[in-house]
Amino acid sequence: MIKAGIVGGTGYTGVELLRLLAQHDQVEVVAITSRGEAGRRLDELFPNLRGVYDLAFQEPDVELLAACDVVFFATPHNVAMQMVPELLAAGTRVVDLSADYRIRDAELWSRWYGEPHASPELLAEAVYGLPEMHRESLRSARLVACAGCYPTAIQLGLLPLLQAGVVEPRGLVASAASGASGAGRQAKVDNLLSETAGSFKAYGVSGHRHLPEIEQGLTEAAGEAVSLTFVPHLLPMVRGIHATLFARLTDRSADLQRLFEDHYRDEPFVDVLPAGVYPQTRTVKGANRCQLGISVPQDRDTVVVMSTIDNLVKGASGQALQCMNIMFGLPEKAGLAQVGLLP
């Protein structure tokens, strides 16, 4: 039985991780921490967990966490990078759901996150937690930096095209939209139901923090510099990311449907839909799954890829669990068998 700790369990990725772990028979959650809610029962905050866990929040404490085999950070950025060095030193493995170790260049990280990196010496070691790109490295990883939500949807949609070299690597466009849970469980006027229901808007247009992470991954895949215009939007709903991706074809004769099907044939959590079928966020709700649809409108020179995930599952907690399964040599699907909730 793997002993797991969760830092920052009061947010949406925390409660989602707990939902998934409840169906994982080889992991036991032994500690869950929160500065703000220490002492409060977990199921008081999240009544869906009543009868499932008999736990209360504790103050984050390295000693407590170091007793775990694995610690998940379900925190905003700038928390993990303070505690991870000590945990690794104690032999505890870390799956970080935050952005702290996703960008390999400490200088670039600082520019986007507005502060120096607290443990830049670990950036080279951290494995980027997108199993479809780095499964082998994950097996022995001590520290995993889970891919962000938008980066997961966008990279999974563009990887096959870039690796096959059938599109121009510059001038890519990603018009993506996320449910409000992506903004976290924080009291902000902008995220009130009255401010967001029945409305749609773009945000972070001039530059979203997920951009460098995505360009880093795509550049690696393409083997040459990639440039992307990325516009995120806020959807009036809770869960789900839909990325609509545009790229100019360099090879109009390529069989793109087959390209995608071949690329993801052995991936347990990436599902290429039949030709002519487009994904919806609702068919992956609650499931650790990315569904992809491909189209070349009017048979012209631009390919459109639609990529959907549940931002809290394949875009966060499900992916974290998938990475953990790989790290510990468990079946990759353990705890991740939930079927999407439809309708």
- Which one among 181, 288, 317, 322 touches a second copy, defined by CB under 8 A? 181
Least distance to a second copy, CB of residue 277, Å: 8
CB contact at 8 A, 216 and 157: no
Least distance to a second copy, CB of residue 120, Å: 24
Q: Does 124 bind a second copy (CB under 8 A)?
A: no
Candidate ranges 83-91, 95-103, 150-158, 242-250; the one touching a second copy (CB under 8 A): 242-250
Number of residues that bind a second copy (CB under 8 A): 90
Q: Does 23 bind a second copy (CB under 8 A)?
A: yes
The Cα 127–Cα 129 span in angstroms is: 6
By beta-carbon proximity to a second copy, the closer residue of 89 and 205 is 205
The Cα 298–Cα 275 span in angstroms is: 14
Q: Does 1 bind a second copy (CB under 8 A)?
A: no
By beta-carbon proximity to a second copy, the closer residue of 124 and 339 is 339
By the 10 Å C-beta count (0-12 exposed, 13-18 middle, 19+ buried), 213 is classed as buried
Of residues 337, 336, 326, the one with CA closest to residue 141: 326
Neighbours of 1 (CB within 10 A): 9
CB contact at 8 A, 104 and 38: no
The Cα 314–Cα 329 span in angstroms is: 19
- Which one among 56, 67, 106, 237 touches a second copy, defined by CB under 8 A? 237
End-to-end CA, the chain = 35
Least distance to a second copy, CB of residue 322, Å: 16
Least distance to a second copy, CB of residue 328, Å: 22
- Which one among 74, 235, 316, 321 touches a second copy, defined by CB under 8 A? 235
By beta-carbon proximity to a second copy, the closer residue of 131 and 286 is 286
Query: For strand 27-33 and strand 2-7, is the pairing parallel, antiparallel, or unpaired?
Result: parallel
Q: Does 50 bind a second copy (CB under 8 A)?
A: yes
The Cα 52–Cα 197 span in angstroms is: 32
The Cα 204–Cα 201 span in angstroms is: 10
Task: Verify whether residue 146 is a known catalytic residue.
Answer: no
The Cα 64–Cα 70 span in angstroms is: 12
For residues 151-180, which are near a second copy according to CB under 8 A?
171, 173, 175, 177, 179-180
For residues 75-94, which are near a second copy according to CB under 8 A?
none
Catalytic member of 146, 149, 290, 323? 149
- Which one among 121, 140, 266, 297 touches a second copy, defined by CB under 8 A? 297
The Cα 93–Cα 5 span in angstroms is: 10
Of residues 79, 243, 97, 78, the one with CA closest to residue 156: 243
- Which one among 35, 40, 139, 201 touches a second copy, defined by CB under 8 A? 201
x/- map, 255-284, a second copy, by CB under 8 A? ----------------x-x--xxxxxxxxx
- So which residues are the catalytic ones? 149
